[in-house]
């Protein structure tokens, strides 16, 4: 899953293209997440990149919640750490470096956000199995994929894989320039 092996992973040197005021206006993190993330939750921001959603998630979970900002790239995690340094949000966010072929977390989450990153993972079946191990009972996974990289057919194939893995569709939210699905795991 390294950049040279997977050209779809956005390198940390291009983080500015992911984190800018125009993108936050088009894909407002608070607007996208406020219906799903509540005070006190444990949330994993999987493929957090430069922390566009991490900061808003930390605000939404308040002091009683916890955010795990997980990414494969040290450079992205360093950017997130820089944003949080010296703020009250720093106490709520744990940075986690994913392993090359797995998330590598043992923590249990109420909610997993995978924003524009599932298409970067070569083994969806393995990823979906790992989702099940990190979700608390009743937990939810919110997958949002970019239309530019993920066709409708590819998204539906991914969705079929999630259903096969035991997930149930809750909702198909509308997110600008994206394909999105909210799921829970059927026990």
Domain at 12-185: CATH code: 3.40.50.150
**pLDDT score at 6:** 54
**Using CA atoms, how far apart are residues 139 and 130, in angstroms rounded to an integer?**
13
**Using CA atoms, how far apart are residues 16 and 133, in angstroms rounded to an integer?**
32
For the chain, domain boundaries: 12-185
Is the distance from CB of 178 to CB of 53 less than 8 angstroms? no
User: How does pLDDT run across 111-121, given as a tens digit for each residue?
Assistant: 999 999 999 89
Give the angle subtended at the CA of 6 by the CAs of 4 and 9, to the nearest 5°.
100
**pLDDT score at 27:** 77
User: How does pLDDT run across 141-176, given as a tens digit for each residue?
Assistant: 999 999 998 999 999 999 999 999 999 999 999 999
**Using CA atoms, how far apart are residues 35 and 10, in angstroms rounded to an integer?**
28
Q: What is the pTM of this model?
A: 0.90
Residue 75 has phi, psi (to 5 degrees) of -60, -40
**pLDDT score at 18:** 60
Is the distance from CB of 8 to CB of 119 less than 8 angstroms? yes
Residues of the chain with pLDDT under 50: 1-5, 15-16
List the alpha helices (DSSP H) in 34-177: 54-61, 74-84, 124-134, 152-164
């Amino acid at each position: 899953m390294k950049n040279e092996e997977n050209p779809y992973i956005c390198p940390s040197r291009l983080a500015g293209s992911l984190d800018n005021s125009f993108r936050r206006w088009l894909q407002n993190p608070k607007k996208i997440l406020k219906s799903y993330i509540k005070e006190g939750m444990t949330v994993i921001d999987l493929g957090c990149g430069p922390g566009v959603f991490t900061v808003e998630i930390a605000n939404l979970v308040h002091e009683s919640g916890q955010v795990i900002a997980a990414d494969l790239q040290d450079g992205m995690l360093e950017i997130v750490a820089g944003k949080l340094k010296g703020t009250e949000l720093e106490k709520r966010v744990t940075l986690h470096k994913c392993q090359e072929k797995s998330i590598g977390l043992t923590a249990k989450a109420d909610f997993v956000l995978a924003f524009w990153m599932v298409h970067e993972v070569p083994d969806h079946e393995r990823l979906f199995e790992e989702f099940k191990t990190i979700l608390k009972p009743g937990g939810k996974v919110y997958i949002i994929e970019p239309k530019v990289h993920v066709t409708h057919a590819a998204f539906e194939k991914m969705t079929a894989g999630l259903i096969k893995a035991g997930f149930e569709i809750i909702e198909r939210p509308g997110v600008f320039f994206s394909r999105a699905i909210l799921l829970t795991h059927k026990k």
